[in-house]
Amino acid sequence: MTTQSLTRNQGLVFDVLSHAGSPLSAYSILDKLRDDGFRAPLQVYRALDKLLEFGLVHRLESINAFVACAHPDEGCHAHGLTAFTICETCGQVTEFHDHMIEDRLKGFAKDRNFKTGKTTIEIRGTCAGCA
Amino acid sequence: MTTQSLTRNQGLVFDVLSHAGSPLSAYSILDKLRDDGFRAPLQVYRALDKLLEFGLVHRLESINAFVACAHPDEGCHAHGLTAFTICETCGQVTEFHDHMIEDRLKGFAKDRNFKTGKTTIEIRGTCAGCA
DNA sequence: CAATTGATGTAATAACATTACATTCACATT
DNA sequence: AATGTGAATGTAATGTTATTACATCAATTG
């Protein structure tokens, strides 16, 4: 997935997320794109849906917000399970990948014949800089 | 924490969750408690806050819903990190605890001086019965 | 060109959660 | 019994997040 093949709206949303230092809600993305002609939440949600599908953006379930992927060139889907630390003070998000955890969760699911879809791992807390 | 020491509202909410076979949203809990005098969302949210604090109930971040803890007698806080599988077809939720994953996440956080607060692990997919 | 498919624009509404403020209850102290 | 305190409650209003419904537009293809 390259950033070239995005539509105008997808590109605008991705750009906003890429330049934000922290996660943004759909509505704050909307606010930032008013000048670019955005008027309704759906314009943002539709673009986000596609960006999520492409692996360019992640949704943080525990805070209802979105961040650009840390390595969008490959599309994050290449990296398997993605986990996050989220600083509740400054909003800093760190994305990481741990094969051991991934295997462990896969194993648990397999043992129970549970067919795994999307998996969420989010650690909320305080980052080193804010401690 | 015993179920005895709950207030009326807390007890009613816990009871509804305990007897539901799947996670419930705050508003669906509210609906089920209309006959018991519940009128406003806040009555539910306040009770849920306490039940979460006591470890009697879990919040599923990825679906904005709540479930009773699988072993409420001890209050789930006794068991360390809690993870869930959530069947998107039937709503069945399975709670589990994995020390290896817990240690791994703790280690990651420690390496980065990230002070861990609440951690969310949720696997959404399809359970054995629904496959 | 017609047909199809994906993207967009807009309005309305649904679903989830919190703020603000007044009141009541349980209980300890006097 | 009166008072003070903190926790819990009742109620209304509002804020935040997400979806449904429907019309239109643009690119592609048969």
Q: What does the pLDDT look like over A11-34, one tens digit per residue? A: 999 999 999 989 999 999 999 999
Average pLDDT, chain B: 94
By C-alpha distance, which of B44, B42, B72, B43 is closest to B57?
B72
Q: What does the pLDDT look like over B29-58, one tens digit per residue? A: 999 999 999 999 999 999 999 999 999 999
Give the best residue of A114, A116, A119, A130 to mutate against chain B (max B CB count within 10 A): A114
Q: Between the CA of residue B3 and those of A100, B19, B70, B80, B109, what are the distances in Å?
A: 38, 14, 14, 20, 34
Contacts of residue A115, Cβ cutoff 8 Å, sequence gap at least 6: A109, B125, B126, B127, B131
By C-alpha distance, which of A46, A58, A52, A47 is closest to A6?
A47
CA of B81, C1' of D6: distance in angstroms = 32
Q: Does residue B20 have a pLDDT over 90?
A: yes
* Protein residues with Cβ atoms closer than 7 angstroms to any atom of nucleic acid strand D: A 25-28, 40-42, 45, 64-65; B 7-10, 37-43, 46-47, 50
For residue A73, what are its two tokens? 């060139």
For residue B22, what are its two tokens? 């799947």
Q: What does the pLDDT look like over A43-78, one tens digit per residue? A: 999 999 999 999 999 999 999 999 999 988 877 777
Let me know if domain A3-130 sits in CATH 1.10.10.10.
Answer: yes
Rounded Cα distance between B54 and B51, Å, is 5
Q: What percent of chain B has pLDDT over 90?
A: 87
Interface of A with B (CB under 8 A): 61-62, 83, 85, 87-88, 94, 96, 98, 100-101, 104-105, 108-109, 112-128, 131
Closest-approach residue (CA) in chain B for A109: B85
Domain locations along chain A = 3-130
CA of B9, C1' of C25: distance in angstroms = 13
Query: Is the Cβ–Cβ distance between A82 and A97 less than 8 Å?
Result: yes
Distance from CA of B39 to the nearest CA of A (A): 27
